[in-house]
A and B are shown apart, each in its own frame.
Chain A
Amino acid sequence: MAQPRTLFDKIWQSHLVSEQDDGTCLIYIDMHLVHEVTSPQAFEGLRLAGRRVRRPDATIAVADHNVPTSDRSRGIDDPESRLQVDTLEENVRAFKIPYFPVTDIRQGIVHIIGPEQGLSQPGMTIVCGDSHTATHGAMGALAFGIGTSEVEHVLATQTLLQRRPKNMRVAVEGSLPFGVSAKDVILAIIAKIGTAGGTGHVIEYAGSAIRGLSMEGRMTLCNMTIEAGARAGLVAPDETTFAYLKGRPYAPKGASLEKAFAYWRTLPSDRGVFYDREVSIEASAIAPHVTWGTSPQDALPITGRVPDPALEKDPSRRAAMERSLQYMALKPNTPLVEVAVERVFIGSCTNSRIEDLRAAAAVAKGRRVAKGVRALVVPGSGLVKRQAEEEGLDRIFLEAGFEWREPGCSNCMSMNADRAEHAERIASTSNRNFEGRQGKNAKTHLMGPAMAAAAAVTGHIADVRELS
């Protein structure tokens, strides 16, 4: 009998072009997503070497990081941002790469539009010069972020030189309690295994709580896999995946779809397969989470208090905690729900899909953004924005005093004008609470979309379960 294999093993083996004696593998890439920030130097490299793009038909480009989320009819004010987007547009023309222009309804954050357009499919290898490419693992694809040299390598050869990662399984069994979202699940996982807990591994998320998640929830989960150190996270494709994909613009159709379905059903991990590492979490024990520090692993249940570094035994960990608390201007033992915020950001490739906006709107409905708080809602794509407007979510947000914006990466890492000023404290649905990421000395607290909306209407970090 054949050796049992994991979902990851199956995808890896079916994409192996060659393997050297030392274990270096050449793997084939099925889908390459390109954005304006990490591609200009790669295209420049192609030009200098006189190389062409091997598979424009397996490549798509979009500008997302630099685009304004306010009125776009005037173009981009910032000359450097404009140059980067113009450079992408020149490159896609010169190398004949399909592109969704900034004014196209399909434009959006690259990790939102891949699944939305049916470009990201089970069993694929998907790469992008962006660490949150892990998102597409929700489709049952092996998807991971690469650097610009690797972007150039994929453009030229449609392959990558890689070492084979190990298999890790994270199981979440049981039902998620009321008020707990996929964001809370992934923050709880990262808090448990640490920000380097998955380094060198691909994480397969499994268990009844994961199977019970919608595709949007699975995307949120897989998105932050990189914050646990693993380049890729996976959820086995199932009927939820297939129902999501069917009918999307670039998904297989007709007989091709039937053939693909049959293949996709062979992908889930075999019974009795070996994982190099296994972690298990009880779904019923997960509460809404928020971060207090400057690493995504600094997450605690909302009922918790800011930890005291004096109680930490490991000296390097203690030093990191002290530095975090100093940066975050927080005192040990402060209840998290007493931390006041000045800014709220609902968006990013982690939490800007329709379900996220619905969850935030449910909290915002009939309430007002607290005095002194500025709250932005940035949909993940033009299509998410349109759907939200058809559902009346924009009205709910606007009436509550939130700003309703155009799609893009926005305040997650602030390459456009959406930047925290004056070292503001932010309740954010994004993925990284690193120092300075959302603005100079900005203090980020990561949380799910309903929790961020709760922070907006109360003016402080709040337990959404008490608002509902």
Chain B
Amino acid sequence: MEKFTTLTGVAAPLPMVNIDTDKIFPAVYLKTIKRTGLSKHLFEEIRFRPDGSENPDFVLNQKPYRNAKILVGGENFGCGSSREHAPWALLDYGIRAVIAPSFADIFYNNCFKNGLLPITLPQSEVDLLLEDAKKGANAILTIDLEKGTITRPDGGTLSFTIDPFRKHCLLEGLDDIGLTEKQAGAISAFEEETRRSRPWLFNITEGAS
């Protein structure tokens, strides 16, 4: 996973509530067996018109925001399906951070597995950043994960917090599976104990197919 330390880039305002994962990445494109190249369908239904041309009203089709690295969204961002294609498509587009008043649980988890930083801030502070984000080419924010700060275009800062373990993994670009494998002894011990106390939980699917 790519490390996340600091990020400076254009922030695009997307002040809609309940931006669901079907909106971020439509189900019909979930047929891919790859993680890459998904940005062409990012926000497809609102980004493109029925004839396939760009919808000029959509923020990422406007010049300063084409290279946005940060999205500022509304509450309950990423609700709906568990598809990791949503953060994959955002990353493939170049978005490395999403700032919103709240996130849906599964999307929030999925972000951390991919080096995409979801930042939760109170609505009043998100409103300030939405105002900043409307400044087009001047909508530049700097996010410092270690310090937990967002520097606004006027030089002012806002603070955010991330769970220490998740923060550590992002800063170091750590692979969760590798970390968990270091606990192999504890996992085996847990399995042995469960085999004694709840033996029906073993060999469950044996005999299928």
* A interface residues, Cβ below 8 angstroms from B: 17-18, 20-24, 26, 28, 30-31, 37-38, 40-41, 44, 49, 51, 56-60, 65-66, 78, 80-81, 83-84, 87, 92, 98-101, 104, 119, 121, 123-124, 129-131, 133, 144-150, 152-153, 156-159, 161, 163, 165, 195-196, 199-200, 226, 229-231, 250, 252, 256-257, 259-260, 263, 295, 316-317, 319-320, 323, 413-415, 419, 432, 434-437, 440-441
Minimum CB–CB distance for B201 against chain A, Å: 5
Contacts of A257 in B (CB 8 A): 200
Cβ–Cβ contact A163 & B76, under 8 A: no
Which residues of chain B in 78-131 are interfacial with respect to chain A, using CB atoms and an 8 Å cutoff? 79-84, 87, 102, 104-106, 109-110, 113-114
Contacts of B75 in A (CB 8 A): 196, 316
Cβ–Cβ contact A196 & B102, under 8 A: yes
Given A60-B208, A158-B187, A436-B22: A146 and B177 interface contact (C-beta under 8 Å): no
Q: Complex Cα distance A295/B198, Å?
A: 41
Whether, in the assembled complex, B206 has its beta carbon less than 8 Å from a beta carbon of chain A, the answer is: yes
Mind listing 11 A-B residue pairs with CB under 8 Å?
A: A38-B84, A124-B201, A129-B82, A147-B106, A147-B110, A149-B114, A153-B177, A199-B105, A415-B27, A434-B23, A437-B22
Measured CB to CB, the nearest residue on chain A to B165 is A24
Cβ–Cβ contact B82 & A51, under 8 A: no
Cβ–Cβ contact B31 & A131, under 8 A: no
Given A28-B190, A413-B27: A98 and B82 interface contact (C-beta under 8 Å): no
Stretch of B32-40, B59-67, B138-146 at the chain-chain interface: B32-40
Q: Complex Cα distance A378/B87, Å?
A: 31
Cβ–Cβ contact A159 & B180, under 8 A: yes
Whether, in the assembled complex, B74 has its beta carbon less than 8 Å from a beta carbon of chain A, the answer is: yes
* B interface residues, Cβ below 8 angstroms from A: 15-18, 20, 22-23, 26-28, 30-35, 45, 50, 74-76, 79-84, 87, 102, 104-106, 109-110, 113-114, 163-166, 176-177, 179-181, 183, 186-187, 190-191, 194, 198-209
Interface-centre pick from B30, B31, B109 (highest chain A CB count, 10 A): B31
Given A260-B200, A263-B198: A152 and B177 interface contact (C-beta under 8 Å): yes
Cβ–Cβ contact A38 & B83, under 8 A: yes
Given A22-B163, A41-B34, A263-B198: A145 and B186 interface contact (C-beta under 8 Å): no
Cβ–Cβ contact A98 & B209, under 8 A: yes
Cβ–Cβ contact A156 & B105, under 8 A: no
Q: Which of A18, A78, A100, A158 is B208 in contact with, Cβ under 8 Å? A: A100
Contacts of A38 in B (CB 8 A): 30, 82-84
Measured CB to CB, the nearest residue on chain B to A148 is B84
Measured CB to CB, the nearest residue on chain B to A37 is B30
Contacts of B50 in A (CB 8 A): 440-441
Q: Which of B27, B31, B183 is A84 in contact with, Cβ under 8 Å? A: B31
Q: Complex Cα distance A236/B31, Å?
A: 36
Q: Complex Cα distance A231/B15, Å?
A: 24
Q: Complex Cα distance A21/B164, Å?
A: 9
Minimum CB–CB distance for B16 against chain A, Å: 7
Contacts of A31 in B (CB 8 A): 204
Q: Which of B106, B177, B200, B205 is A60 in contact with, Cβ under 8 Å? A: B205
Sample of 10 more A-B contacts, CB < 8 Å, known A229-B76, A437-B26? A58-B205, A65-B30, A78-B31, A119-B204, A129-B84, A150-B110, A159-B180, A196-B75, A414-B27, A436-B45
Contacts of A435 in B (CB 8 A): 22-23, 45
Q: Complex Cα distance A319/B27, Å?
A: 25
Contacts of A17 in B (CB 8 A): 183, 186-187, 190
Q: Complex Cα distance A130/B27, Å?
A: 12
Cβ–Cβ contact B26 & A147, under 8 A: no
Cβ–Cβ contact B109 & A147, under 8 A: yes
Given A98-B208, A148-B84, A295-B18: A131 and B76 interface contact (C-beta under 8 Å): no
Q: Which of A41, A56, A59, A441 is B33 in contact with, Cβ under 8 Å? A: A41
Measured CB to CB, the nearest residue on chain B to A295 is B18
Measured CB to CB, the nearest residue on chain A to B208 is A98
Minimum CB–CB distance for B19 against chain A, Å: 10
Q: Complex Cα distance A245/B52, Å?
A: 50
Contacts of B26 in A (CB 8 A): 436-437
Contacts of A440 in B (CB 8 A): 45, 50
Q: Complex Cα distance A49/B177, Å?
A: 10
Contacts of B18 in A (CB 8 A): 195-196, 295, 320
Cβ–Cβ contact A149 & B200, under 8 A: no
Measured CB to CB, the nearest residue on chain A to B1 is A149
Contacts of B34 in A (CB 8 A): 40-41
Minimum CB–CB distance for B165 against chain A, Å: 4
Cβ–Cβ contact B165 & A22, under 8 A: yes
Minimum CB–CB distance for A113 against chain B, Å: 10
Q: Complex Cα distance A137/B33, Å?
A: 29
Measured CB to CB, the nearest residue on chain A to B79 is A195
Contacts of A320 in B (CB 8 A): 16-18
10 A-B pairs with least C-beta separation? A149-B113, A98-B208, A40-B33, A147-B110, A252-B200, A147-B84, A80-B31, A145-B82, A196-B76, A413-B27
Contacts of A156 in B (CB 8 A): 177, 180-181
Q: Complex Cα distance A231/B103, Å?
A: 12
Contacts of B191 in A (CB 8 A): 28, 158
Cβ–Cβ contact A80 & B209, under 8 A: no
Contacts of A58 in B (CB 8 A): 201-202, 204-205
Cβ–Cβ contact B28 & A131, under 8 A: no
Q: Complex Cα distance A415/B30, Å?
A: 8
